[in-house]
Amino acid sequence: MRYVLRRLGLFLVTLWAALTVNFIIPRVMPGNEAQAIIANFHGVNPAALHALEIEFGVNVHQDVIVSYFQYLANCFTGQFGLTAQRLPVLTDIVSKLPWTLGLVGVTTVLAFLAGTFVGIVSAWRRGGRLDGVLPPLLFIVSTFPVFFVGLLLIYVFAVTLNWLPLESNYSIGATPSLSPQFIGDVLAHAVLPGASLVIVTAGLWIYSMRNNMITTLAEDYVKMGRAKGLPSWRIMVDYAARNAILPNLTGFAMQLGYVLGGSILVEYVFSYPGLGYLFYTSTTDHDLPLMQALFLFYTLAVLICVLLADFATAALDPRTREA
């Protein structure tokens, strides 16, 4: 219990740090961009405008400390101001969210499951055919920049072979519905961006799972299991893998930040209109309110996953429950 509480403390401190970074950066960085952006909004939506003025420290004739707390309050009530297109930031984010959530969620789970499985098996049959090929190959591939893998996939499967669509989330002119055609269209558009993310992340899971497994397999309790004559799949899964997976669970959450970063690049490569592409356009449009809200959003997403991973660790590892 104390373990979970301590992690909850880290959660709050990190969230606070992200909020504070957002508050401080516009105040200490050179340039008057914030001023120009806010000038753009005059006469639009007084409440949202005021929230932005507080966030960026423009036209605010009050103590910085007071502004700071007002800004924190605004963030907690979801008032992030307006995008350059004069839409509420939150509305814009929520409308793009499902695409990224689908893409990142599915690929992360797939890569984790596949990578962990291959890691377990290749450590179990160490020096075997699988172990000799997949871990080193995918480890090298995992160091490739995700956008390079994306470009390569586009070149091969979209431009050269013309099997799959080049960009976007569904075909131009298709009307969103639950019809099989439309769902098929969406899936076809998601294959290449998803594959880029899986290819780049699976290797890291294999690598860490394999190394954890090798360490665990040398433990006495594994020998004990063998001596007791347990079936080997039970030793592999219940004795070795259950312990070896613990560091990976913590890594899972850390990894998510990496995957989310990767998804920004992938969405840019494929012009896939999710949060990552929104992030990219917010930098080219100098849409600072949107950009900072997205940074907060990504941080929050990672934090929630860190917390979930902590709960999972506590459930799997009795030692953390007692400590």
Mark 161-200 with x for binding to other proteins (rule: CB under 8 A) and - for no binding: -----x----------------------------------
The single residue among 114, 185, 280, 321 that binds other proteins, judged by CB under 8 A, is 280
Question: Which of positions 139-158 make contact with other proteins (CB under 8 A)?
Answer: 139-140, 143-148, 151-152, 154-155, 158
Question: Which of positions 5-44 make contact with other proteins (CB under 8 A)?
Answer: 10, 13-14, 17-18, 21-22, 25-26, 29-31, 33
Q: What is the 3-state secondary structure (H, E, C) of 238-291?
A: HHHHHHHHHHHHHHHHHHHHHHHHHHHHHHHHCCCCCHHHHHHHHHHCCCHHHH
Hey, what long-range contacts does 86-91 have (CB within 8 A, 24 or more apart)?
Answer: 86/41, 86/44, 86/45, 88/48, 89/289, 89/290, 89/293, 90/293
Q: Closest CB to other proteins among 106 and 158?
A: 158
How near is the Cβ of 199 to other proteins at its closest, in Å? 12
Q: Closest CB to other proteins among 144 and 182?
A: 144
Q: Closest CB to other proteins among 182 and 258?
A: 258
Q: Closest CB to other proteins among 146 and 195?
A: 146
Task: Tell me the number of residues near other proteins by CB under 8 A.
Answer: 62
Residue 310: partners with Cβ closer than 8 Å, 6 or more residues away:
3, 4, 7, 250, 253
Whole-angstrom CA distances from 187 to 208, 248, 322 are 30, 29, 45
Contact 186, 169 (CB under 8 A): yes
Mark 215-254 with x for binding to other proteins (rule: CB under 8 A) and - for no binding: x--x----------------------------------xx
Answer yes or no whether residue 66 interacts with other proteins by CB under 8 A.
Answer: no
- Amino acid code (one letter) for 137: L
Whole-angstrom CA distances from 100 to 128, 150, 162, 263 are 38, 16, 24, 8
Whole-angstrom CA distances from 176 to 70, 218, 287, 307 are 40, 54, 28, 34
Distance CA 255, CA 214 (A): 21
Answer yes or no whether residue 81 interacts with other proteins by CB under 8 A.
Answer: no
The single residue among 90, 106, 174, 214 that binds other proteins, judged by CB under 8 A, is 214
Chain residues binding other proteins by CB under 8 A are 10, 13-14, 17-18, 21-22, 25-26, 29-31, 33, 126-127, 136, 139-140, 143-148, 151-152, 154-155, 158-159, 166, 211, 214-215, 218, 253-254, 257-258, 260-262, 264-265, 268-269, 279-280, 283-284, 286, 288, 291-292, 294-295, 298-299, 301-303, 306
